[in-house]
Structure 1
Amino acid sequence: MNQPLYVDVHIIQSLPPSNVNRDDAGSPKQAVYGGARRARVSSQAWKRATRKAFADRLGLPDEKLGTRTKRIGRELGERIAARTGLSAEDSRRLSVAMLGQLGLTASKKKAEESSYLLFYGHHQLDRIVDLVADRAMELVALPDDALDKAVADKNLAILPILASGHPIDVALFGRMVADLPSLNVDAATQVAHAISTHAAEIEFDYYTAVDDANHDDNGAGMIGTVEFTSATLYRFATVGVHQLVENLDGDQDAAQAALTAFLEAFAYSVPSGHQNSFAHQALPQLMSVAVRRDQPVNLVSAFEKPVYSRTGQAAESIKRLDKELLRAAETWGINPVAVASVYHQDVLPEPEKLGPAFTFSGLLTAVQETVSAQWAGPR
């Protein structure tokens, strides 16, 4: 599949009082757009929540997923020990020697840690263990110089393993390794910062904690404040399906499964900041998916003029989005191949571009069928 194929995801979602993504001062993140201050949730926060949902909600197995950590040496050492029965010290030494092939800058504090986060698949570590499992005892018996020379053998090369067979989260979100560009993976997915469709203010919750064992006075055991906001957010992401297929070694079935997993995880996930205090796990009021051959289109311009309504922001935001999708098609000639949307029919009884309302499972099926039909080329 050589021609570009994009899947744009538009979500309108109202969050109650919450602080899902805070800045360095503890305040909910904000941005100014259209001359108005908006609530904001960073793309990094929602990508992290989406990645966690792959396992927590979808139950995808470890071998299909990756992890992002500085502790690749420790993780590899633990797998070597579990497979071979080597001591923790010998396993750590062998893992450090193996990873030395990559020439990654080591942490100043711990040799088995890299100086920055590395994103890789769980199954890729298992494949590295496969290389040395039968020779582990022989290798750790060597002195350091001889060990480093032995693991440099081309038959023990780990770079080809880390450069192929990517888990779906690496294939979707990409990887950048400054010290080793050959390990870079172009992200198939772009995620925008979510912003409120309307002007939003930060408020303060003054709280007290009672000392249950204090029977001497009526004072609080602790007092404090936490900042929060509430907002109807516009969320946007786009998946380059052609890039996703490339990242998954040309496997279209794997790419289709990864796309479906992303759509489900992105729809249901919410960043977990202050979750115990606010219980903010609200579902979207709209999810619309547009399959495109031309280019991705972020429709945030629908909200450049802030929505203002005393009867709720979500319904007006959905109507604005419907009109902006039509405007982009009519004015710029940017027409999606197909659009599938989930929303309450009474909010938009006569949609101009969002199309009839699907159930969420119906939306996933419609997107799968459209993408499959487009793999042979534009229709």
Structure 2
Amino acid sequence: MPPALLAPRVYVDVHIIQTVPPANMNRDDQGNPKDAVYGGVRRSRVSSQAWKRATRMHFAESRPVEDHATRTRAVAAALAERLGPVPGVPDEESAVRLATALLAPLGIKAGKKEGDTAYLFFYGQSQLDRLVALVADRAPELLALDDKALTEEAAGMGVQEVFRTGHPLDVALFGRMVADLATLRVDASTQVAHALSTHAVDLEFDYFTAVDDETERRNETGAGMIGNIGFNSATLYRYATVGLHQLLRNLSPGRTGGAAWPAAVAGVRDFVTSFARSVPAGYGNSFAHRTLPSLVAVVVRTDQPVNLVSAFEAPVTPGEQQGIAAASVMRLADEHARVAELWGDPAPYTSAVHAFGQDSRVADAVEAAFGAGRNFGALLDGLEAHLDGAYRTEPV
């Protein structure tokens, strides 16, 4: 059983206002930036899947390799590669045979390509290491068995238990769906909304030509290539929420001595960091669109997650003395305060970091809604201290 919280449910909502220049970071089937109609007008949209992947990739930059997770159809090939150096595994064919037998108890449907699963499987690198450890001292003995006997032997080695415990943070946050075997499913502790522009947008096109460097020398004319790329620029409202209670539940199996709690709190911190600092990379070389948010606000709730996109149901328009980003931040701050007053359930903890001068109207609105502004590191420290102090039931 996972350790209990002082509240049955604890959600950490993350609200971000971020402006991006002309970009096409997440394109549709026509190659154009994704969009959506909201509040009766066309908005720029970045899918939740795109930003979740960008967040996961940001994790990889700061976490040790053994804590990484992989999502692939080729899990058998990855396991066979790990088994190759094991003493008693003479060749690649033997490694593949042993890997196939080890994964057979999972009951995952085979894909069209030999050795692949029918769908992507999400696992941790440490989980593959534990599978290798199961056979490290028995490889010659196991490989001497015929295929049927080898599969039967693998069925009793606790392979399913390996994938039910010791989840890396990525799997504990984003979950794992396995249609064939419900016992391997992991309920996601994180929900990520599609990012929407706070204002109306128009699709634009960049018509480009690529010059052939040899054309002039050959006394020829014309471009080496021509084409166009769709783009837009937008101030985006981004939202995600982490259920600390579910994250703790996902991290508990395989961790003893109270280790799940610090892992869960650190996991929330890592998620907020990577969600805020990541950007999908589509057409990155053409647009160089990486920016940092104008506002990051965290809100801890014990009732339910609350997406504040309703602040932008009426599209934001630029004012004479402030741009779209400033107006969007003020809208968000007002909506947060309005929701708390209307429903009578103010959040037990709020904090924000913003890019506006401390003496501005925007700063006043943010601080009235979310508390005194601070830098990003202080925001993370304060969030971590609040979660650890307010909801932990185990002794430190």
TM range (shorter): over 0.9
Q: What are the within-5 Å matches in structure 2 for residues 54-133 of structure 1?
A: 54-56=59-61, 59-84=62-87, 85-110=89-114, 112-133=115-136
Residue 151 in 1 paired to residue 154 in 2?
yes
Q: Could you say which residue in structure 1 is the equivalent of 2:178?
A: 177
Quote how far apart the aligned CAs of 1:237 are. 0.2
**Considering only aligned residues, what root-mean-square deviation do their CA atoms show, in Å?**
1.2
Q: Pick from 309, 316, 323: which aligns with 2:327?
A: 316
Q: Pick from 44, 50, 55: which aligns with 2:49?
A: 44
TM-score when normalising by structure 1: 0.96
Residue 285 in 1 paired to residue 294 in 2?
yes
Distance in 1 of aligned mates of 2:106 and 2:166: 18
- Identical pairs, percent: 52
Aligned pairs, how many? 372
Residue 243 in 1 paired to residue 246 in 2?
yes
| One-letter amino acid of the counterpart of residue 205, structure 2 | F
| One-letter amino acid of the counterpart of residue 349, structure 2 | A
Q: Could you say which residue in structure 1 is the equivalent of 2:255?
A: none
| One-letter amino acid of the counterpart of residue 219, structure 1 | G
Q: Could you say which residue in structure 2 is the equivalent of 1:160?
A: 161
Moved beyond 4 Å, runs of 4+: none
Distance in 1 of aligned mates of 2:90 and 2:251: 34
SS in structure 2 at match of 1:230: strand
Q: Could you say which residue in structure 1 is the equivalent of 2:211?
A: 210
Quote how far apart the aligned CAs of 1:373 are. 1.6
Distance in 2 of aligned mates of 1:253 and 1:167: 14
Q: Is the 8 A contact 1:49 1:271 kept in 2?
A: yes
SS in structure 1 at match of 2:70: strand
Distance in 1 of aligned mates of 2:223 and 2:344: 63
Distance in 1 of aligned mates of 2:208 and 2:392: 59
Distance in 2 of aligned mates of 1:101 and 1:68: 19
Quote how far apart the aligned CAs of 1:233 are. 0.2
Quote how far apart the aligned CAs of 1:142 are. 1.9
Distance in 2 of aligned mates of 1:370 and 1:281: 31
Q: Could you say which residue in structure 2 is the equivalent of 1:357?
A: 373
Residue 336 in 1 paired to residue 353 in 2?
no
Q: What are the within-5 Å matches in structure 2 for residues 224-239 of structure 1?
A: 224-239=227-242
Q: Could you say which residue in structure 2 is the equivalent of 1:221?
A: 224
Q: Is the 8 A contact 1:31 1:40 kept in 2?
A: yes
Distance in 1 of aligned mates of 2:204 and 2:113: 41
Q: Is the 8 A contact 1:345 1:357 kept in 2?
A: no
Distance in 2 of aligned mates of 1:104 and 1:330: 50
Question: What are structure 1's unaligned runs of at least 5 residues?
Answer: none
Q: Could you say which residue in structure 2 is the equivalent of 1:296?
A: 305
Distance in 1 of aligned mates of 2:59 and 2:167: 15
Distance in 2 of aligned mates of 1:253 and 1:344: 31
Deviations 1:187-227 (A, max 9, x none): 11000000000001110000000001112133211110000
Distance in 2 of aligned mates of 1:105 and 1:49: 28
Distance in 2 of aligned mates of 1:124 and 1:376: 28
Q: Is the 8 A contact 2:25 2:46 kept in 1?
A: yes
Q: Is the 8 A contact 1:291 1:370 kept in 2?
A: no
SS in structure 2 at match of 1:239: strand
SS in structure 1 at match of 2:18: strand
Q: Is the 8 A contact 2:14 2:297 kept in 1?
A: yes
Distance in 2 of aligned mates of 1:92 and 1:113: 12
| One-letter amino acid of the counterpart of residue 353, structure 1 | A
Quote how far apart the aligned CAs of 1:48 are. 0.1
| One-letter amino acid of the counterpart of residue 54, structure 1 | F
SS in structure 1 at match of 2:370: coil
Distance in 2 of aligned mates of 1:37 and 1:172: 31
Q: Is the 8 A contact 2:266 2:384 kept in 1?
A: no
Q: Is the 8 A contact 2:39 2:315 kept in 1?
A: yes
Distance in 2 of aligned mates of 1:367 and 1:280: 29
